[in-house]
């Protein structure tokens, strides 16, 4: 077998080889290292998403310092309501308790978010018509928000 | 290379162990978290939801969701006793500030909605670039650096859980607070839910109370006929809910 008159085939082969090499180089530059690590996506994205900052610290963190509140709360109907459910996101406060101080809450507005009467709410959930019940007075005039049941009322029931 | 049968039998378990390690992956910032040990979902108890909107507010604060867009929202259904096709559904501002009392005596209840984190999710299948995917621990995530904003997945999601974030022009959705659950915290919505209507569930953790709940209750997923492998389980789901 001779290679006479086949130089054009070598030229095509060379052009193809160069093109393919360029493709491989460009591809290796463009495709992120972690692509395909776990599947058809960028594996590093998992870490990037997981490392976003947290706003809500979680009630366990609150309880490490505010054990006194926990003791009150444990006794009452709000035992399972997390601190940040009313007080808002306070991860910043856990990082720097001195300078980030949670705002005082207005119970006249806060409590009705859950407890204003509404036909769509489950029947067994405690609800009031706030206008009739307290005429706009803050709820903590009578109730202690961390353990809201009033003693006298509790005894008669 | 010539392998004897003995060598192959020794090599195979080693290779399997190595592959397991590759599949597991360990996020650097959460050294104790192994994604292969978890399979996340959520339990939503409609009988406990009071429509206070705490979850919606917490989600927006935790995940910086722009106003008017929702990764989770609460719907109110009002159903005449037999008219499953004639339901009235409202969700004013996603239920963020609660719901006005409608009065009347029709059956009415709240349904919190979020990404169902489907195991066989339609949305991840249509992504042309691999920007959305089911993570090894069963969370449907979006890689904002890879997303083109083509909106295929927005159309593919049968639950309407995806939107284009106007700030980034990429797709945004509930990621089950992946930055929290990988740090041993619950999601923001589950953290603040005052009645325990929402609970994060780790289906691979045998100690998770979700298993006991699923065994003892009539639990349903949304649109089960679509076979999406949805992992948001609803207790007390009415037939009228879509």
Confidence class for position B25, pLDDT limits 50, 70, 90: very low
Residue A84 per-residue DSSP state: H
What's the ipTM?
0.86
Question: At A25, is the secondary structure helix, strand, or coil?
Answer: helix
Place of tokens 């009739």: A132
Cβ distance of A53 and B180 shorter than 8 Å:
no
> CB-CB: which of B50, B141, B185 is closest to A54?
B185
One DSSP character per residue, B123-169 reads HHHH-SSS-EEE-TTS-EEE-TTT-----HHHHH-TT---EEETTTT
Question: At B97, is the secondary structure helix, strand, or coil?
Answer: coil
Mean pLDDT to the nearest integer, B144-172? 96
What is the pLDDT, as a whole number, of residue B234? 97
Which of A43, A56, A90 to mutate to test binding with chain B, by most B CBs within 10 Å of its CB?
Answer: A56
Cβ distance of A81 and B53 shorter than 8 Å:
no
> CB-CB: which of A41, A116, A119 is closest to B133?
A41
User: Please, how many CA atoms are within 13 Å of residue B171, restricted to the half-sphere of its CB?
Assistant: 30
The rounded Cα B64 to chain-centroid distance in angstroms is 17
Residues of A in contact with B115 (CB under 8 A): none
Residue B58 backbone phi and psi in degrees, to 5: -65, -40
B161 pLDDT higher than 70:
yes
| Structure token digits, residue B139 | 């969370």
Percentage of chain B exceeding pLDDT 90: 81
Cβ distance of A56 and B180 shorter than 8 Å:
yes
**A123 in contact with chain B, both atoms CB, cutoff 8 A:** no
**A31 in contact with chain B, both atoms CB, cutoff 8 A:** no
Residues of B in contact with A94 (CB under 8 A): none
Residues of B in contact with A37 (CB under 8 A): 22, 25
| Domain limits, chain A | 7-50, 54-102, 104-157
* Mean pLDDT, all residues of chain B: 91
What is the pLDDT, as a whole number, of residue A156? 47
- Domains of chain B by range and CATH? 37-118+175-235 (3.30.70.20), 122-172 (3.30.70.20)
User: To the nearest whole angstrom, how far is the Cα of A2 from the nearest Cα of chain B?
Assistant: 35
The count of residues in chain B is 242
| Structure token digits, residue B78 | 């009002």
Mean pLDDT to the nearest integer, B68-79? 96
CA angle (B20 as vertex; B7, A29 as ends), nearest 5:
100
User: To the nearest whole angstrom, how far is the Cα of B55 from the nearest Cα of chain A?
Assistant: 9
Question: At B37, is the secondary structure helix, strand, or coil?
Answer: helix
């Amino acid at each position: 077998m001779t290679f006479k008159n086949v130089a054009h085939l070598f030229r095509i082969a060379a052009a193809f080889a160069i093109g393919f090499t360029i493709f491989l180089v460009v591809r290796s530059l463009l495709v992120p290292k972690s692509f395909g690590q776990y599947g058809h996506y960028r594996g590093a994205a998992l870490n990037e998403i997981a490392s976003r900052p947290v706003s809500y610290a979680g009630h366990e963190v609150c309880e490490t310092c505010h054990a006194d509140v926990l003791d009150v709360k444990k006794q009452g109907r709000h035992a399972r309501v997390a601190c940040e459910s009313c007080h808002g996101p306070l991860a910043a406060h856990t990082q720097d308790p001195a300078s980030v101080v949670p705002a005082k809450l207005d119970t006249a507005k806060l409590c009705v978010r859950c407890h204003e009467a509404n036909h769509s709410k489950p029947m067994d959930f405690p609800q009031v018509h706030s206008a009739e019940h307290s005429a706009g007075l803050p709820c903590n005039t009578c109730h202690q928000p961390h353990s809201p049941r009033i003693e006298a009322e509790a005894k008669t029931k | 290379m010539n392998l004897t049968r003995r060598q192959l039998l020794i090599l195979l378990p080693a290779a399997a162990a190595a592959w397991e390690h590759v599949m597991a992956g360990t996020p650097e910032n959460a050294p104790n978290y192994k994604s292969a040990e978890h399979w996340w979902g959520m339990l939503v108890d409609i009988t406990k939801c009071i429509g206070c909107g705490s979850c919606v507010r917490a989600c927006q604060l935790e995940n910086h969701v722009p106003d008017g867009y929702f990764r989770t929202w609460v719907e109110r259904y009002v159903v005449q006793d037999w008219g499953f096709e004639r339901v009235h559904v409202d969700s004013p501002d996603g239920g963020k500030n609660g719901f006005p009392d409608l009065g009347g005596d029709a059956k009415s209840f709240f349904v919190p909605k979020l990404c169902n984190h489907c195991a066989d999710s339609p949305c991840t299948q249509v992504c042309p670039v691999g920007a959305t995917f089911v993570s090894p621990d069963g969370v449907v995530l979006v890689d904002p650096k890879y997303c083109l904003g083509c909106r295929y997945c927005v159309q593919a999601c049968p639950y309407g859980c995806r939107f284009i974030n106007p700030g980034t022009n990429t797709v945004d959705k509930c990621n089950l607070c992946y930055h929290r659950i990988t740090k041993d915290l619950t999601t923001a919505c589950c953290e603040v839910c005052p009645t325990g209507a929402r609970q994060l569930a780790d289906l691979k953790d045998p100690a998770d109370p979700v298993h006991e709940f699923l065994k003892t209750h009539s639990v349903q997923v949304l649109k089960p006929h679509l076979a999406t492998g949805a992992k948001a389980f609803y207790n007390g789901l009415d037939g009228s809910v879509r």
